[in-house]
Amino acid sequence: MTLDKWRWASLPPAIFPRPELDPEKCTGCGRCANACPIQLYEIVDKKARPNRRYDHFRCIACENCMAVCPRGAIRIEGEYRVEKGFWKNADLFEGGKTWPEPLPGSRDRQFSEYEKELTETEKVIYQRRSVRLFQKKPVSRELIKRVIEAGRFAPSAGNNQPWKFVVIDNSKILDEIDVLCRKVCRFGTFLMLPKAWRDKQTPGDQGARLSLWQKLFLPIFVRLNPGETDQRARGGINSVASDPKYHTFFHTPALIIILADKRGVGSIELDSGICGQNIVLAAHSLGLGTCYVAIITALRFFPKYRKKLGIGDQWKIVTSICLGYPLGKVDNVVEREQARIIWV
């Protein structure tokens, strides 16, 4: 392992996707600011503008801001690329992002032109977006059970069906869990971000840097927990931790927590993920919206609250899914990195 990989393990020099806003089209509705998981937008003088809290934008290129904008005022340019070090990915992608290309010749056609040639399942897959804008309208328990039923029939290793579900449709309980998750996220930002970035201030200190102890600690922590320490993930954690108006679960009317039996066959996380995607696709096909929120795993630090929710020691919290009726149109097609395929 080279010194270079250790040096660039914490906040590596990167090229980030760039939000481009058309002020002539923008009406300042705020949907982009509310839908962005990294809080890259703010509304000033009835117009959206980039939120300059950090030294550079930590856009994850989900393009949800584009999907929810009713006026088509936003465009995401470029892709996330790291040229060197532990997080190097510049050699992993070719050609940049493209729109869905399920059919021969579809690259040169608009999605609306060939949508009728797709199956209903394909349409849901390509148009599904993570929903963070929910109506206050409750979701009936009959409908919640219907989407969970789709998850129940997901494939699993050895047909062991390791999943179990905790459904919360009580806003008071969701607010309590939000507070607990915020505490854990706050500690995460203490470990992984410059002090000046830990509170919502715009414009922020764009020149803020990690402290010496963080520079020494983070290269080791990154290798032990790469999935939770990617600098894009840190932006999401900081959104939860630093903004008092940000709700971990976006004030969703219902939350489905997916648990997995630790004694299950094979990869219980993979099986639970397949189950979750069945739930998500079924929900969107029924006109509902969903958003995965993995921060729910923070409850592992609160055994008494786990017990309050009926989560025994044998169950691992895998993820959670917000479920509700979307506020306005959210589902829409976006661009994605091209598939990496080895043909043999």
Quote the pLDDT of residue 4.
63
**Where do we find the tokens 């009713």?**
70
Quote the pLDDT of residue 178.
98
Residue 202 CB neighbours (<10 A)? 12
C-alpha Rg value of the chain to the nearest Å: 21
Tell me the per-residue pLDDT of 253-268, one tens digit each, with 9 for 90 and over. Answer: 999 999 999 999 999 9
| All structural domains of the chain with their residue ranges | 3-100, 141-169+253-324
Token output for 323: 């479920």
Q: How far apart are CA 207 and CA 220, in angstroms?
A: 24
CATH number (3.20.20.70, 3.40.50.1980, 3.30.530.20, 3.30.70.20) of 3-100 reads 3.30.70.20
pTM of the model: 0.94
Token output for 144: 């919640």
Q: Are 266 and 273 in contact (CB under 8 A)?
A: no
The mean pLDDT of 187-209, rounded to a whole number, is 88
Quote the pLDDT of residue 231.
87
Quote the pLDDT of residue 58.
77
Q: What mean pLDDT, rounded, does the chain reach?
A: 93
Tell me the per-residue pLDDT of 269-302, one tens digit each, with 9 for 90 and over. Answer: 999 999 999 999 999 999 999 999 999 999 999 9
Q: DSSP string covering 169-182, please? A: --HHHHHHHHHHHH
Quote the pLDDT of residue 96.
85
Instruction: Say what the alpha-carbon torsion angle 69, 230, 275, 286 is, to the nearest 10 degrees.
Output: 0
Write the burial class of residue 186 (CB in 10 Å: 0-12 exposed, 13-18 middle, 19+ buried).
Answer: middle
Q: Indicate if the pLDDT at residue 54 is higher than 90.
A: no
Quote the pLDDT of residue 177.
98
Percent of the chain whose pLDDT exceeds 90 = 73
Quote the pLDDT of residue 5.
65
Q: Are 272 and 296 in contact (CB under 8 A)?
A: no
175 beta partners: none
Give 27's pLDDT tier (boundaries 50, 70, 90): very high
Nearest CA-CA partner of 96 in 128, 68, 124, 61: 61
Token output for 163: 């999943």
Angle at 13 between CA 238 and CA 240, to 5 degrees: 5
CATH topology of domain 141-169+253-324: NADH Oxidase (3.40.109)
220 beta partners: none
Local structure of residue 338 (DSSP, 8 states): P
Q: Indicate if the pLDDT at residue 114 is higher than 80.
A: yes
Q: DSSP string covering 129-160, please? A: -B---B-SPPPPHHHHHHHHHHHHTS--GGG-
